[in-house]
Amino acid sequence: MTSIRGDPSDAAIIVPRSEAGNGTHAQIITFSRLGNAVATLQTTLASTLSLSRRSPAVSMALPNSPELVVCFLAVAAQRGIAAPLNPAYSQKEFEYYIGDLGSALVLAPRGAVASKAAVVVAARRHGAAIAEVWWDRLEMTVGIEVMEWGRVPGVGPQRVNGEDVAVAEPGDVALVLHTR
């Protein structure tokens, strides 16, 4: 299972009050809560979307946020390849990167499908599954909903020692960072 290093009660992520949505104080996410959020999302990615080391890269069009951190760590922990993309890209740019990576899954912010965001249109053009993610402030975890199944990796749930989750290994590729 996922191991997040640090004193469990220390702050791992601090969300400024303006971004925390409460206007009065910053939101502090401890190492313990971050580890729990990563493990929960990792299990969902493995059991629901069959994410594994053999899967194509997972494109993420998320702003700098707790959900980006959790998604990145959960994909890497599951031995997948995380491909963060600038959420301000144009549709043409998203199409290029999603196509070049061969992404079968795109993670987008909540509401992206309803608003027909550029990343959603691009993901559809490449047949990628689309899942919306958001930070659940009450549960201190990432919510995820698969909005369109596209062509998710078809290898079935990944079982390691009787569990759906994998354990990242030193030689795993965890990140693709596209530059032009």
Please name the fold of domain 11-148. Answer: Rossmann fold (3.40.50)
Give the list of residues 6+ apart from residue 135 with CB closer than 8 angstroms, or none: 65, 66, 67, 70, 141, 142, 143
- Separation of alpha carbons 165 and 99, rounded Å: 27
Q: Are 155 and 50 in contact (CB under 8 A)?
A: yes
User: 66 or 7: which carries more pLDDT confidence?
Assistant: 66
Worst-scoring range by mean pLDDT, 2-11, 34-43, 56-65, 82-91? 2-11
**Could you tell me if residue 46 is left (phi over 0), alpha (psi between -120 and 50 degrees) or otherwise beta?**
alpha
Task: Look up residue 91 and give its two tokens.
Answer: 């549709």
Task: Look up residue 20 and give its two tokens.
Answer: 């925390």
Q: What is the dihedral of CA 136, 82, 148, 94, to 10 degrees?
A: 110
* pTM for the predicted model, two decimal places: 0.85
Query: Over the stretch 99-139, which tens digit does the pLDDT of each residue have?
Result: 999 998 999 999 999 999 999 999 999 999 999 999 998 88
Q: CA neighbours within 13 Å on the CB side: how many for 130?
A: 23
- Separation of alpha carbons 118 and 120, rounded Å: 5
Task: Look up residue 158 and give its two tokens.
Answer: 């990944």
List the domain boundaries for the chain: 11-148
Query: Over the stretch 128-179, which tens digit does the pLDDT of each residue have?
Result: 999 999 999 888 899 999 999 887 754 444 554 455 566 767 776 766 766 6
Give the list of residues 6+ apart from residue 159 with CB closer than 8 angstroms, or none: none
How buried is residue 53: exposed, middle or buried, by Cβ count under 10 Å (0-12/13-18/19+)? Answer: middle
Cα end-to-end distance, the chain, whole Å: 35
Strand partners, 30: 11
